[in-house]
Amino acid sequence: MKHLMHFGALFALAATRKSKRFVRLSPNRSGKIFIFDKRNKEIFHVHARENIDSVTADQIFAKNDYDLRFLKRYPEILDHYRYILSTGRNPLIIDCGANIGLSAYYFSREFPESRIVAVEPEVNNFTMIKKNCDGLGNIDFKNAAIGSVDGFATIDDSGSKNNAFRTSRTDSGKGAIPILSIDTILSENTDLVPFIVKIDIEGFEDDLFSRNTGWVAKVPLLIAETHDWMLPGQANSRNFLRAISNEDRDFVHRGENIFSISNDYPK
């Protein structure tokens, strides 16, 4: 009953507010979840295995975790997206910690002319990315972790919920997965223009921002979830804060995410 009441409240909010683009139509917590896109006037569906995947769908499509319209600089960001297209190139979005692909799906609908690189280390989640994003021709899938330098990693806590897997560096060997750096992804996509980097990597941002952070200055919009709340006493956000504080960027905190916006890109 509590679940149905929660679904009903989100449905009513999304259906009645013009600012809400997506309306979740189905209350089920596994299987196909149907969603109405009010802007395009069409229904699509995503796949969930269990409740935590359903929660992720709500975060992205009902609660609008990555909707940029709350930002005063949103018109400017949208203009920059159009500016990139006007040059004959495509914007690049890197989704670090893509989970089951719903954030990549969201960005694909919001910025359909972009190319999206979806990076996810956990193999079962990665399988779900390909299932959820099947048919979207602008998403590249990488079964890998993201870090400061290329290397290898293992999944530390295989018993965690599907949205909370953590990684740590290791030597190459059985069970290891590749680590890609942002620089490597950028070097593989030199025909594209950096636009957005979204980061939700369950504490591994400590590694990502520990060195080789020159790429930050190239990215107009950085969206990051930090995890000091999950890792008390470790100053896990220190490297991230150091990296962005050295740049000329705005810092906007909303919900679980920090939105770091460059003040030095073509406007």
Say how far apart CA 77 and CA 69 lie, in whole Å.
Answer: 10
DSSP assignment letter at 215: G
Q: Do residues 102 and 152 share a domain?
A: yes
Q: Do residues 90 and 209 share a domain?
A: yes
pLDDT at 7: 87
Other CB atoms closer than 10 Å to residue 219's CB: what's the count? 23
Structural domains of the chain, count:
2
pLDDT at 212: 97
Q: Do residues 53 and 80 share a domain?
A: no
Long-range contacts of 160-164, Cβ-Cβ distance < 8 Å, separation of 24 or more: 161/52, 162/49, 162/50, 162/52, 162/53, 162/99, 162/100, 162/122, 162/124, 162/125, 163/52, 163/53, 163/55, 163/56, 163/99, 164/202
Give the containing element (helix H, strand E) for 85: helix 74-86
pLDDT at 211: 97
- Mapped onto helix, strand or coil, the DSSP state of residue 178 is strand
Inside any domain, residue 185: yes
Dihedral of CA 242/72/93/95: which sign?
positive
pLDDT at 266: 61
Inside any domain, residue 138: yes
pLDDT at 158: 57
Q: Do residues 88 and 211 share a domain?
A: yes
Inside any domain, residue 68: no
Q: Determine the structural domain holding residue 11 and report its residue range.
A: 1-63
Provide the whole-model pTM. 0.94
pLDDT at 267: 53
Say how far apart CA 182 and CA 223 lie, in whole Å.
Answer: 14
pLDDT tens track for 156-211: 765 566 666 788 899 877 779 999 999 999 999 999 999 999 999 999 999 999 99
* Last residue of one domain, picked from the residues 63, 82, 115: 63
Residues of the chain with pLDDT under 50: none
Cβ-contact 163, 99 below 8 angstroms: yes
Cβ-contact 227, 238 below 8 angstroms: no
